[in-house]
Structure 1
């Protein structure tokens, strides 16, 4: 398991245990597909009640897909990279 996958899974676990996070995300529904290092696929289903579900593999119809290296995505999650600026620069 890549470090990026591990961090995303932990974030999902935290979200499912934290009522404040669930309240903030209540009403938001999406499927976020991750493609890490070109060969690792997993996704998170965000539910309207504010909880989420981590899943292995490829989603049938993701809302959007994040394609990145494990290192880069970990840097984004840790606040070391700005995802918008990086996207605009083609990172």
Structure 2
């Protein structure tokens, strides 16, 4: 199992349904090493899939190190975006909620 897959599995296990209340969103992650994953968040919870979704709400492009740092709480997502480490397309405000929906332990 790749490091990237482990990060996504960890995110799903930390999912906070209260923070995602009334959310209906698809987060597409394009990782620079060619891996693609998407997370569907809705009233029933969250589901992780590998690949590219046809109609994501927001697409986030970054390298694996940035993904690990942001989801591990070592790097603020907005700071990473401002530094150009994360490229976003779509509902960018939704991306700012990621660390609330998937909080660190």
Q: 1:38·1:67 contact (CA, 8 Å) conserved in 2?
A: no
Consecutive aligned runs of 4 or more in structure 1 exceeding 6 Å deviation: none
The corresponding residue for 1:18 is: none
Unaligned runs of 5+ in 1: 16-20
Tell which structure's C-alpha radius of gyration is larger: 1
TM-score of the aligned structures, taking structure 2 as reference length = 0.71
The corresponding residue for 2:69 is: 75
Q: 2:31·2:61 contact (CA, 8 Å) conserved in 1?
A: yes
The corresponding residue for 1:42 is: 37
Q: Hey, which of these two has a bigger chunk of helix by percent?
A: 1
Unaligned runs of 5+ in 2: 86-105
Number of matched pairs: 85
Q: How far does the alpha carbon of each residue in 1:24-46 deviate from its partner, in whole angstroms, 9 at most, with x for none?
A: 32211100001112410110000
Aligned-CA RMSD value = 1.6
Cα 1:10–1:78 shift into 2, 3 Å: closer
TM-score of the aligned structures, taking structure 1 as reference length = 0.80
Q: 1:2·1:70 contact (CA, 8 Å) conserved in 2?
A: no
Indicate the SS of the match to 1:28.
coil
